[in-house]
């Protein structure tokens, strides 16, 4: 009888691994651990008081309406606000081009559902966002990984990869998760031309775009695509689906994100979302609208930038001070993550065990590679947004002990 269920699981459950990051979340809830593991925003910058005002206002003004079923597309004032906000980045969209989703993870799931048939190839960065691989794996995706360097996806390698006929390209141009690198402006233009040349669309995932700590803003692919198309009839054409979220600018626990896409794509996604969860929480959409409105979101993003810049700088400084010279790392201009490269032959899973013994956590690099090789084993992803600067410094000190031990090939504990 206990095999009844196992014998009934559909083919699509094969190949899903439980996420290393989510499992790590459980370990890292121990108070003694300094975690660079999750992609957690800093709770100390969540606008709790503003949320409380907003909840009060929404229930006082809208009452039961805010607790009732809503439309699948999302709360209209919120869609309009998002359309207005993204216009400043050159993304000219109407509310009808915006679909509210239950976090960006749902956006990835819906896109996978819409576009991927079992065996379809997806061009992605190597390394890339683990959550996207999980979402796409469910639909039987195969991958064509293209490496990144300090200027993001190496577009010179994309042309050849596109000739293998991928269904779409999945790209994180800003402060990429996990590598922290940013796609240069030149490469963005090149990528748009390639998408056009081969007729292969791009899914542009941009959760961190507003969290830039240095350098100039670079136009998103979706804006360059539109320029390239030189059309003025709204958003009906275009090669790019653009994703962003409130998880990193307001709070992740409200699960609010959005998709910007041509209207016929949105209509299809709406049908799939309706079948997936009817709609995203009405209450959360009303509340987020009240929290974000009247310029609060912009002000708040400035605060987050300031706090996260300090934390990034604290991590870069500590790495400089404590890490051995044969280890290198990226210098992210924004976002939440930094990517460490160790000498060839390092085993980051073993390093993680040693690090946990020192009460510090990170995510081993292997999880971020589509094709399950060992390309990631000399890498680790470090999150710098979650902990305060002094804890970051102490965590990097502890981590350096584990790293040095690992580099010496020793498995004996090192006293601090």
Q: Which 198-237 positions form the footprint of a second copy (CB under 8 A)?
A: 199, 201, 229, 236-237
Angle between helix axes 103-115 and 130-137 (nearest 10 degrees) is 40
The residues in 145-204 that bind a second copy, with binding defined as CB under 8 A, are 167-168, 199, 201
Under a CB-based contact definition with an 8 Å cutoff, are residues 321 and 363 in contact? no
Residues pairing with 204 in the sheet: 171, 242
Q: Which is nearer to a second copy, 86 or 251 (CB)?
A: 251
SS3 content of the chain, % helix, strand, coil (to 5): 45, 15, 40
Part in contact with a second copy (CB under 8 A); list of ranges 89-97, 98-106, 178-186, 347-355: 98-106
Part in contact with a second copy (CB under 8 A); list of ranges 40-48, 92-100, 169-177, 347-355: 40-48
Residues pairing with 50 in the sheet: none
Which member of 67, 154, 307, 407 binds a second copy (CB under 8 A)? 67
Q: What gap in Å lies between CA 181 and CA 332, rounded to an integer?
A: 6
Does the protein bind a second copy through residue 10 (CB under 8 A)?
yes
The residues in 346-375 that bind a second copy, with binding defined as CB under 8 A, are none
For the chain, how big is the Rg over CA atoms in Å?
22
Which member of 37, 74, 103, 395 binds a second copy (CB under 8 A)? 103
Which member of 1, 230, 344, 412 binds a second copy (CB under 8 A)? 1
Q: Which is nearer to a second copy, 105 or 182 (CB)?
A: 105
> How many of the chain's residues bind a second copy (CB under 8 A)?
88
Does the protein bind a second copy through residue 36 (CB under 8 A)?
no
Does the protein bind a second copy through residue 134 (CB under 8 A)?
yes
Look-up: residue for tokens 């006929």? Answer: 165
Return the exposure string of 64-84: e unless at least 16 CB atoms fall within 10 Å of the residue's CB, then b. eebeeebebbbbeebbebbbe
Does the protein bind a second copy through residue 416 (CB under 8 A)?
no
**Shortest gap between Cβ of 396 and a second copy (angstroms)?**
23
Q: What gap in Å lies between CA 258 and CA 108, rounded to an integer?
A: 10
Does the protein bind a second copy through residue 296 (CB under 8 A)?
no
**Shortest gap between Cβ of 61 and a second copy (angstroms)?**
11
Under a CB-based contact definition with an 8 Å cutoff, are residues 349 and 253 in contact? no
Residues pairing with 203 in the sheet: 170, 241
Q: Which is nearer to a second copy, 163 or 217 (CB)?
A: 163
Does the protein bind a second copy through residue 254 (CB under 8 A)?
yes
**Shortest gap between Cβ of 81 and a second copy (angstroms)?**
19
Which member of 37, 70, 145, 173 binds a second copy (CB under 8 A)? 70
Look-up: residue for tokens 């969290």? Answer: 211
Does the protein bind a second copy through residue 40 (CB under 8 A)?
yes
Q: Which is nearer to a second copy, 26 or 88 (CB)?
A: 26
Q: What gap in Å lies between CA 266 and CA 275, rounded to an integer?
A: 14
Q: Give, in order, the Cα–Cα distances in Å from 7 to each of 4, 10, 175.
A: 6, 9, 43
Q: Give, in order, the Cα–Cα distances in Å from 217 to each of 174, 213, 221, 328, 416.
A: 10, 10, 12, 26, 42
The residues in 107-126 that bind a second copy, with binding defined as CB under 8 A, are 109, 113-117, 120
**Shortest gap between Cβ of 184 and a second copy (angstroms)?**
26
């Amino acid at each position: 009888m206990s095999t009844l269920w196992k014998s009934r699981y559909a083919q699509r459950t094969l190949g899903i691994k439980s996420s290393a990051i989510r499992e790590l979340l459980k370990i890292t809830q121990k108070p003694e651990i300094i975690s660079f593991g999750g992609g957690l925003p800093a709770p100390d910058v969540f606008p709790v008081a503003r949320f409380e005002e907003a909840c009060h206002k929404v229930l006082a003004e809208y009452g039961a309406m805010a607790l009732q079923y809503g439309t699948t597309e999302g709360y209209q004032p919120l869609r309009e606000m998002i359309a207005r906000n993204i216009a400043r980045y050159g993304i000219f969209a109407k509310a009808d081009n915006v679909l509210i989703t239950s976090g960006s993870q749902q956006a990835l799931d819906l896109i996978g559902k819409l576009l991927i048939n079992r065996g379809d190839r997806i061009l992605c960065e190597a390394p890339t966002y683990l959550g996207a691989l999980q979402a796409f794996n469910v639909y039987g995706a195969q991958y064509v990984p293209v490496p990144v360097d300090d200027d993001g996806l190496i577009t010179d390698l994309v042309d050849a990869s596109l000739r293998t006929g991928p269904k779409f390209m999945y790209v994180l141009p800003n402060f990429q998760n996990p590598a922290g690198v940013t796609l240069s402006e030149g490469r963005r233009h090149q990528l748009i031309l390639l998408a056009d040349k081969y007729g292969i669309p791009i899914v542009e995932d941009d959760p961190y775009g507003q969290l830039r700590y240095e350098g100039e803003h670079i136009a998103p692919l979706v804006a360059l695509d539109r320029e390239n198309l030189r059309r003025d009839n709204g958003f009906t054409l275009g090669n790019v689906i653009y994703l962003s979220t409130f998880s990193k600018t307001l709070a992740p626990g409200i699960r609010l994100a959005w998709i910007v896409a041509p209207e016929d794509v949105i209509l299809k996604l709406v049908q799939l979302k309706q079948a997936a969860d009817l709609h995203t929480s009405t209450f959360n959409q009303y509340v987020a609208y009240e929290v974000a409105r009247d310029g609060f979101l912009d002000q708040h993003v400035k605060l987050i930038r300031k706090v996260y810049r300090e934390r990034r700088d604290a991590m870069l400084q500590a790495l400089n001070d404590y890490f051995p010279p044969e280890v290198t790392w990226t210098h992210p201009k924004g976002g939440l993550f930094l990517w460490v490269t160790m000498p060839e032959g390092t085993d980051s899973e073993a390093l993680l065990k040693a690090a946990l013994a020192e009460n510090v956590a990170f995510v081993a690099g292997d999880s971020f590679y589509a094709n399950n090789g060992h390309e990631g084993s000399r890498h680790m992803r470090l999150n710098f947004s979650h902990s305060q600067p002094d804890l970051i410094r102490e965590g990097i000190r502890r981590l350096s002990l584990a790293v040095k031990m690992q580099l010496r090939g020793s498995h004996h504990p090192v006293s601090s």
